[in-house]
Chain A
Amino acid sequence: MNRCRILPVLLIAAVLLSACQAVATDSAPAAAQPATLTVATHDSFAIGEEVLRQFETEHNARVQILTLGDAGEALNKIILSKDAPLADLFFGVDNTFLSRALDSGAFVPYASPLLEHIPDDLELDPDHRLLPVDYGFVNLNADQAWFADAGVPLPQTLEDLTAPAYKGLLVVQNPATSSPGLAFLLTTIAHFGEEGYLDYWQALRENDVMVSDGWSEAYFEHFTVGSGGAGDRPLVVSYSTSPPADVVYATDGRTEPASVNISPQNGTFRQVEFVGILDGAANPELARAFIDFMLDTTFQSDIPLQMFVYPANPDAPLPDLFVQFGQTPEAPVSIDAAAIEANREQWIRSWSDVMLR
């Protein structure tokens, strides 16, 4: 009987203890009351501890991060709360959502002096309401060993993927629920045109392409590399930084990735991520300082290995792994942000009609 009573008591004690600890850290008094800067972002945001502390010390500020779900969810929550903003600034609008974000009127302009370091082709909002912070490329990743063992050459073009040699090898994501999925759909629209892309997808379907809901399922369940051999698809739609990540997050100390980027002509899509100050921010001054900080080299150099994307500021050095295995593809497709917002639903619907019926 004793045993039975001790367990719940221990459990409750542990919980209460941690609760007390939590309260204690929350209410620690500071010398000069630091101002709180609230940064809203999406689930994938990451930042180095040291980097964050540096900003907090320099500006006598406390940074509160809020994550609002995936990129689409997060932006919609920002738009819905624009009359009573959740935060001072929002990081994580990408170019597929740029138009929606700008049209909402939720962001106010800020022409940061640091923008002079940022390449012009990343600045997609001439009014500087949304400023580019990083970019990445959605492209194909292939399992090098699988193709070598099977004696099949790596595909070179988007058209190759419909060839019999590549039947049943590719897994893509549903563009309705996944941002790399949407990016890959956009590359096919750019390459084959609005008249041709559906025929291409029809051919892909006949070649037994697999459609998964999101990136995690595609990569970890179906991609032979990501699943450690449990999946049976040696080709996946992923990012050009996935091969460096395969080394960074390896379990066997490998120095070369098992996967390799395939960047066919018109087969990659560049995602640019932006930050902007919210209209009605409680601390606009501090928010501007944080944006300058985000565009400066300390934060920019921290970006690659925290979020596995490329820094917008070319002065920030790239880690060796990125230089070796995460080459930025030449000539990614470009589609106007306004065109994406205007046609997104129609394109996805047509895609679904071909792929899912």
Chain B
Amino acid sequence: MRRVLTAALFALPILFLAIFYAWPLLAILRVSFAGAPGEAIGQVGAAVGSPAFWQLLWFTTWQALVSTLLTIAAGLPLAYIFARYDFRGKSLVHALLTIPFVMPTVVVATAFMALIGRTGLLNTWLQDAFGLAAPPIRLEQTIWLILIVHVFYNVAVIIRTVGGFWTNLSPHLGASAAVLGASPWRVLRTITLPLLLPSILAAGLLVFLFCFTSFGVILILGGARFATIEVEIYRQAVSYFNLPLAAFLCLVQLAITFSVMVAYTRMQARVSRPLAQRGGGLARRPANRREWAVLAIALAVTAAGLLAPLGALAVRSFTLGDQGPTLLYYQALTTNPRQSAFFAPPVTAIANSLLYATATLLISLPLGIIGAYMLAQERSRWAAVFDPLLLLPLGTSAVTLGFGYIVAMGPLRTSLWLVPIAHSLIALPFVVRTFLPALRALDRRLREASATLGAGPLRSWWTIDVPLLLRAALISAAFAFAISLGEFGATLLVARPDRPTMPMVIYQALGRPGLINYGQALAMSTILMAVTAVALIAIERFRVPGSEEF
């Protein structure tokens, strides 16, 4: 009976992926190659034979790899400091860190331009300070800007995932090593980093996949000079309507994603080990002036790198050209001067967004956690197969899958339910990846001990797993919620203007000339940031009754 129940439970995420991922994808691939097979093969052959194709693969891979390494390098020190020190406002910092995730690329691009563009703040300041004739920072449409923005978008994944894991790492091992004479550097190299490796790999993999399938950042910040496979798929599928070639590129992208994930799964299984975990084991208030200084520097770096662009954006939403502060853009959001249908005052857009995000959370969190438990089963044949499969949605071209929905989803394709379902598809890999390292690190002996002491499986789950894994679950939940809040979804889904979300309002405003439209986009982006921050803080503070002690 228990076995059947477990099997039924484990079947849920698989079923979800089969219906909402595999089926539409297979349907669009079938349609794409069905037309004229001979012609399709000819086109694919010609593409593979051209140097442009290999250039495309090479650029996509190396920019993703470099972006990932830079993101890890930027994220690890901050992850350590935020994991190590408790301070007032920490959950606010955590929430703020996750905000870039929800920001539309166009808006982030304007924020960076306002900061480091040719006439941006930094250049103006440097020119004034040093009397330079030309702006010293020229990053527009360069690979550097793409890399910087990739780090900006993804550093939260490292800080949150690795940081969450690090907090729960018992400090005793390191302390013992120190007592035995190991230098701090040696403790880091031989104890801490190896123990952290599973979570670094897991977070790094997510970042890699995000950058590997990067679309908006490449197009908008790179100008037109750079193209990833995802960008090329879009051009083939939309501009040229060359479905066979688009489908082939989609398969190439999937094949690379899949092999990266297989390699990752192997490594992950090798480096994971159960740890003596403790909730909040490492976190404490800084003890002396040196520690306060370290924390202050970390916060300053975070503020400069992550919050300055977002802050610049918020400031601009309250500024009217040279004329000083204004609420005009916010007022404009609430009025409908041309009496357009489907006008959405901010409250409506916020409510719609929150509704979708909550539904996404309710779908993706249980499914993801079940999926993680399935993968954590030792000696499970399933785990080896499904571990990489669970991540595939992240490596799949959105435009291809969107076309797949149109072909395969019947009446559901125009249903509002498809929105949280599609958001969950993107959130699911996040939930699984952020939750799994913590789950794998859970010491089995704890559960065995509770079973020996007479606790049933449910009780030992409630008293052992829930308190120890709550932090990881909350981080997963925060990501799932944020992903849904920021998803524009027009490529993936059929949008319903009668049910507009915050990102939809932003894009709508950016589609028309005129300063008031631009201002409204800034204002709505600022509201999106604020709503995200509040929602994430609320999620962070969630506690299971009776487990406050951990």
Size of interface on B: residues with Cβ below 8 Å to A: 79
Which of B58-66, B70-78, B531-539 is the interface stretch?
B531-539
B228 to chain A, nearest CB (A): 13
A79 to chain B, nearest CB (A): 8
* B474–chain A nearest beta-carbon distance, Å: 11
Q: Given A86-B414, A221-B113, A250-B515, are A213 and B220 neighbors across the interface (CB < 8 Å)?
A: yes
Q: Do A228 and B224 have beta carbons less than 8 Å apart? A: no
**A327, chain B: closest CB distance, angstroms:** 16
- A212 proximity list for chain B (CB < 8 A): 220, 223-224
Question: Which listed segment binds A: B179-187, B189-197, B389-397, B405-413?
Answer: B405-413
Bound-state CA distance A54–B399 (Å) is 36
Q: What is the CA–CA distance of A242 and B515 in the complex, to the nearest angstrom? A: 11
Determine the residue in chain B with the shortest Cβ distance to A18.
B351
B117 close to A (CB within 8 Å): yes
Contact for B512 among A12, A49, A249, A352, CB less than 8 A: A249
Interface digits, B206-245 against A, CB 8 Å rule (1 contact, 0 not)?
0000000000000110011100000000110111111000
A65: contacting residue among B413, B491, B497, CB under 8 A: B497
Interface mask (A60-74 → B, CB under 8 Å = 1, otherwise 0): 000011111110110
CB-based nearest A residue for B28 = A80
> Known: A65-B342, A76-B241, A221-B113. Contact between A8 and B512, CB under 8 A?
no
Nearest-neighbour CB distance to chain A for B495, whole angstroms, equals: 5
What is the 8 Å Cβ interface bit string for chain A, positions 222-239, against chain B (1 contact, 0 not)? 000011111110000011
Q: Which of B354, B358, B507, B513 contacts A249 (CB 8 A)?
A: B513
In the bound complex, do residue A250 and residue B539 qualify as a contact, i.e. CB atoms below 8 Å apart?
Answer: no
Q: Is the CB of B516 within 8 A of A86?
A: no
Contact of B223 among A86, A213, A242, A248 (CB under 8 A): A213
B355–A7 touching, CB < 8 Å? no
Contact flags B342-360 to A (C-beta < 8 A → 1, else 0): 1100000001101100100
- Complex-state Cα separation, A19 to B352, whole angstroms: 8
Given A213-B224, A249-B514, A251-B519, A73:B497 Cβ within 8 A: no
A101 to chain B, nearest CB (A): 11
> B518–A228 contact, CB under 8 A?
yes
Cα-based distance from A17 to B355 in the complex (angstroms): 10
The complex places the Cα of A51 from the Cα of B355 at a distance, in Å, of 30
Chain A proximity of B373: nearest CB distance (Å): 25
Q: Tell whether, in the assembled complex, residue B497 and residue A67 are in contact, meaning their CB atoms are under 8 Å apart.
A: yes
Residue of B with least CB distance to A346: B240
Select the residue from B507, B510, B514 with max chain A CB neighbours within 10 A. B514
- Closest residue of chain A to B507, judged by CB? A43
Q: Which residues of the partner chain A approach B114 to less than 8 Å between Cβ atoms?
A: 230
Q: Is B120 an interface residue (CB 8 A)?
A: yes
Question: With A69-B490, A73-B238 given, is the CB distance from A226 to B513 under 8 Å?
Answer: yes
The answer to whether A245 touches B513, judged by C-beta atoms less than 8 angstroms apart, is yes
Is A210 in contact with B410, judged by CB distance below 8 angstroms?
A: no
* A339 at interface by CB-CB < 8 Å: no
Q: Are B358 and A8 in contact (CB under 8 A)?
A: no
In the bound complex, residues from chain A placing their C-beta under 8 Å from that of B343 are: 49
Among A22, A46, A49, the residue within 8 A (CB) of B355 is A22
Which residues of B lie under 8 Å from residue A43 when comparing CB positions?
Answer: 490, 495, 507-508, 511
B220 touches A15 (CB 8 A): no
A345: Cβ under 8 A from any B Cβ: yes
Once bound together, how far apart are the Cα atoms of A69 and B399, in whole Å? 10
Q: Tell me which of A45, A86, A238 contacts B413 (CB under 8 A).
A: A86
Residues in A with CB closer than 8 Å to B407 are 80-81
Is A48 part of the contact surface with B, judged by Cβ < 8 Å? yes
A262 interfacial by beta-carbon distance below 8 Å: no
- Provide the B164-205 mask, 1 if CB < 8 A to any CB of A, else 0: 000000000000000000000000000000000000000000
Contacts of B495 in A (CB 8 A): 43, 66-69
From B347, which residue of chain A is reached at the shortest CB distance?
Answer: A18
Whether the pair A217, B118 counts as a contact (CB closer than 8 A) is: no
A335 contacts the other chain (CB 8 A):
no
Interface membership of chain B positions 492-508, coded 1 if the CB is closer than 8 angstroms to chain A and 0 otherwise: 00111111000000011
Interchain CB contact under 8 A, A251 and B516 = yes
When the two chains form their complex, are residues B109 and A217 in contact, meaning their CB atoms are under 8 A apart?
Answer: yes
Which residues 94-152 of B have a CB within 8 angstroms of A?
Answer: 106, 109-110, 113-114, 117-120, 141
Contacts of A226 in B (CB 8 A): 513, 515, 518
Q: Find A230's partner among B117, B241, B354, B537 (CB 8 Å cutoff).
A: B117
With A7-B541, A14-B351, A348-B239 known to touch, is A306 a contact of B512 (CB < 8 Å)? no
Interfacial residues of chain A within 22-66, with CB under 8 A of chain B in the complex: 22, 38, 43-52, 64-66
B27 CB to closest chain A CB (Å) equals 10
- Taking a contact as CB atoms closer than 8 A, the residue among B235, B354, B515 that contacts A11 in the complex is B354
Nearest Cβ on chain A to B204's Cβ, whole angstroms:
28
Contacts of B491 in A (CB 8 A): 69, 73
C-alpha gap A326/B68 in the complex (Å): 48
Q: Give chain B residues whose Cβ lies under 8 Å from the Cβ of A251.
A: 320-321, 326, 328, 515-516, 519
Does A137 sit at the interface, judged by CB under 8 A?
no
- Which residues of chain A have C-beta atoms less than 8 A from B16's C-beta? none
A62-114 contacts to B, CB under 8 A, are: 64-70, 72-73, 76-77, 79-81, 84, 86, 100
Residues in A neighbouring B241, C-beta threshold 8 A: 72, 76, 79, 100
CB distance from A93 to the nearest CB of B (A): 13
Given A308-B512, A356-B225, A80 and B235 contact (CB-CB distance below 8 Å): no
Q: What are the residues of chain A within 8 A of B414 when measuring CB–CB? A: 38, 66, 86
Known contacts A15-B351, A15-B355, A43-B490: A86-B109 contact under CB 8 Å: no
Q: Which residues of B283-330 are within 8 A (CB) of A?
A: 320-321, 323, 326, 328
Q: CB within 8 Å of B: which residues of A?
A: 1, 4-5, 7-8, 11-12, 14-15, 18-19, 21-22, 38, 43-52, 64-70, 72-73, 76-77, 79-81, 84, 86, 100, 174, 176-177, 210-214, 216-217, 219-221, 226-232, 238-239, 242, 245-246, 248-252, 305-306, 308, 344-345, 348, 352, 355-356
Assuming A19-B355, A72-B238, A352-B224, what are 9 further A-B pairs, CB within 8 angstroms? Answer: A176-B235, A177-B219, A213-B219, A217-B220, A220-B518, A229-B321, A245-B512, A306-B338, A345-B240
Interchain Cβ contacts under 8 Å between A and B, 16 examples: A8-B541, A47-B340, A65-B341, A66-B496, A67-B497, A68-B495, A69-B495, A81-B407, A86-B414, A176-B239, A212-B220, A216-B106, A226-B518, A249-B516, A250-B514, A305-B338
